[in-house]
Homo-oligomer: A and B are copies of this chain.
Amino acid sequence: MIQVETLFAQFERSLLTSGLQEPLRSRLRLLAQPHNLPRSASIDLSSKGGSIVFVGSGALKLLAHAVHDREQVVAFYFAGDFLTLPTDGQHNYSLKALSRSSLLVFPYARFLTQVHGNPDLLESLLDRHAQSLLKSREKAFALYRKTASERLASFLIAMAGRIGRPGGTGIEIELPMSRQDIANSLGLTIETVSRQFSKMREDGLLETHGRSGVALPSLAAMEECSGSFHCLI
């Protein structure tokens, strides 16, 4: 359980390294809805008419719900990440904790009203949007044409960069998401993902420890597998 004030301070530094000026700081503080989500708890974001979310700790998946109970993992988020979900599109979105997570949720419209007079902040937000857009495009670009193994390799490389730690056997990763989540986020079936894991293990590209432990002995070899580029998450 992270203290709200600590969480807010974290958010503040992440947004602007110089920190926020009063009275803006207090006003945003009032808007911030803190959430402490245990594993597999989720918050519905579609009902709120747009949200800005700051992830203080933990790991989450952003789910888009289509009709027929079909759902799609849009993205994974980790500590320090920002996430803007503006006015509702065709889907309902929800955010589900893969592990205990602490968040700050701001109502989009009211957040923007407060930020309105602060060009630095607006620009910072604009930059984040631009980056997200680029990432989303690169992801779409990547997934159209990639094979299953290229997708998984791309995913693992992205994860290594995001939550990997140097260990005995190259980079070690504790995956907070299930195979099903991985499959769902890569547009594959769980069986295909599982088969690719096995194949990569046979080929010496990775080691697995239990369900969630993965070690990549050689990132270079993995990049070889990922095809031309590897911008995914």
A127 interface contact, C-beta 8 A: yes
Q: In whole angstroms, what is the CA distance A135 to B129 when docked?
A: 13
A122 interface contact, C-beta 8 A: yes
Q: Could you mark each residue 123-147 of chain A with 1 if its beta carbon is under 8 Å from any beta carbon of chain B, else 0?
A: 1011101111111111111011100
Chain B residues lying within 8 Å of A118, measured Cβ to Cβ, are 119
| Interface size classification for chain A | 35 or more
Q: Could you mark each residue 70-98 of chain A with 1 if its beta carbon is under 8 Å from any beta carbon of chain B, else 0?
A: 10101000000000101101110000000
Output the nearest chain B residue to A136 by Cβ-Cβ distance: B136
Q: In whole angstroms, what is the CA distance A137 to B140 when docked?
A: 8
Secondary structure call for the A interface: helix
Q: How many copies does the complex hold?
A: 2
Q: Could you mark each residue 48-87 of chain A with 1 if its beta carbon is under 8 Å from any beta carbon of chain B, else 0?
A: 0000000000000000101110101010000000001011
Judge whether B229 and A91 touch: CB under 8 Å.
yes
Judge whether B129 and A140 touch: CB under 8 Å.
no
A228 interface contact, C-beta 8 A: yes
A209 interface contact, C-beta 8 A: no
Query: Can you give 19 A-B contacts (C-beta < 8 A)?
Result: A66-B141, A72-B145, A74-B141, A84-B130, A84-B133, A86-B130, A86-B131, A87-B134, A89-B138, A91-B138, A91-B229, A112-B123, A112-B126, A116-B123, A125-B126, A129-B129, A129-B130, A132-B133, A133-B133
Judge whether A72 and B144 touch: CB under 8 Å.
yes
Interface residues of A (CB under 8 A from B): 64, 66-68, 70, 72, 74, 84, 86-87, 89-91, 112, 116-119, 122-123, 125-127, 129-141, 143-145, 186-187, 228-229, 231
